[in-house]
Amino acid sequence: MFDIDFSRLIEQLLYQPDSPMIFSSGIFLFLFLAFTLIYNLLGKADTLRILFVTLFSYYFYYKSSGLFFWLLALVTTSDYFIAKAIAGVTEKGGMAKTLVALSLVLDLGLLVFFKYTNFLGETICTLLTDWGIHIPSAISGSYLLGVTWQPRDIFLPVGISFFTFQSLSYTIDVYRGNIKPLNRLLDYAFYVSFFPQLVAGPIVRARDFIPQIRRPLFVSDQMLGTGIFLIIAGLFKKAVISDYISINFVERIFDQPDLYSGLENLLAVYGYTLQIYCDFSGYSDMAIGIALLLGFQFPKNFDSPYKSASITEFWRRWHISLSSWLKDYLYISLGGNRHGKIRQYFNLLMTMLLGGLWHGASLNFILWGGIHGVLLCLDKMWHSVCKVLSPLTYLPSKHNPNPTKNWFVVLVGGIITFHLVAACWVLFRASSFGIAEQVFHQIFYKFEPQIFLQWCTSYKAVALLMLVGYVLHFMPEFLSVKAKDFVTRCPLVVKALLIVILVWIVIQIKSSDVQPFIYFQF
């Protein structure tokens, strides 16, 4: 009766290197429906439900990185027992610090090996050659100059930067006394591997998530409605806006920027600025929405970052879980602002340099982070020297004795901040410094603004989606709240209809291949 190709079905269920499972793929939607049914049947059986979700999460990771799920298990097991050992130490002295150092070495060691081996090897060999340092040869006894690095074929497991940081924060929090260690390895495995945020964040803190693990399963109407709204919003951002403008415009420009005018390069910069936001915030929205459908609450990860009036405000709104992680576990550990301005600026710069390196093994990412670090330092200097013109300053008006924002400064600061952030994204997106240089060269020396109408005609759909994306991003917050409340109040049938309509739109405009999320590579 049913003509089912079981070999094809089994093939889809196995790991496919060229097609990792993501939230917007058909295989995930199919599996998630079956998963939800079983999940709700296990609602009152806490341990079985936690075990089931953990096994599904490991399968989800297997579909993303194959047999490298053993890394996830290794990080989980080691940090669980290290945290238990830290809690068992009566004095937070040498032994506790040694255990924290062990966790750092294990987690960061794995991260460095899989993500940075080739980058560090190539960089060190290049520096030794540039500095004219002779290296003794173990074979011939002679001295070698100009040693080159032979790249190793090392697979980069998806999301390794996220789950190592998440697990590492747990052991540090136990050491600091902020939380108590879990008594069940299963519960900790559930926390680290929980599939909505496993491969691309948000980075969920143990103190926020652990209290929810053994809580009775409950999904309120508000949680259900908000979850569906976030899934719809995230899917629209990712599969409609981000994927389309990337494939049909942004990629073409960044592949060969010198073949296009400066105006087209500038529009591609604006396009990528929107693309990376829609891609990453879209994933975060779907992750938070799926978690809500399962009864778990994640903190917000994006808060309309391009509305920021300063670089400092931008980093309070962009990738909030990573920004707060870097602040709490790196910036503050370096000394924060406790040792004077100069030390504070140094700590900021180091934090952002390492934050840039976290994003990828490339000098582009390091420079991107370094520029943001310098901009943060300049921003803090500006606020301290010229408080009246600070966008964060509130000034009383004649008709209102209560402080109000200086909207002119906020507007000007917002325009400047947006373009500084967009310019930095060029380094983030470009495959090399040469490509980034070509983009800027075209913009500043071959702008050709007269072709704008021609571009709009040639790229009608791209122009429309970019306009829609930016309008939705910059619209007042209360309109977004009203849209969420509308979806929340809708009957379940209407919610389902909205999802069907969106899936139909995605099918109409999608490319032949599912586009992986940008942050999967980090």
Active site residues: 359
Residue 5: Cβ-neighbour burial (10 angstroms; 0-12, 13-18, 19+): exposed
Place of tokens 């921003």: 379
Render the burial of 193-207: b for 16+ CB within 10 Å, e for the rest: bbbbbbbbbbbbbbe
Residue 347: Cβ-neighbour burial (10 angstroms; 0-12, 13-18, 19+): buried
Three-class SS string for 162-214? HHHHHHHHHHHHHHHCCCCCCCCHHHHHHHHHCHHHCCCCCCCCHHHHHHHHC
Ramachandran class of 91: left when φ > 0, alpha when ψ lies in -120 to 50, beta otherwise: beta
CA distance 251 to 272: 9
Q: How far is CA 173 from CA 18, 214, 231, 351, in A?
A: 37, 20, 31, 19
CA distance 147 to 145: 6
Structure tokens at 278: 């829609």
User: Is beta strand 143-144 parallel, antiparallel or unpaired with respect to 135-136?
Assistant: antiparallel
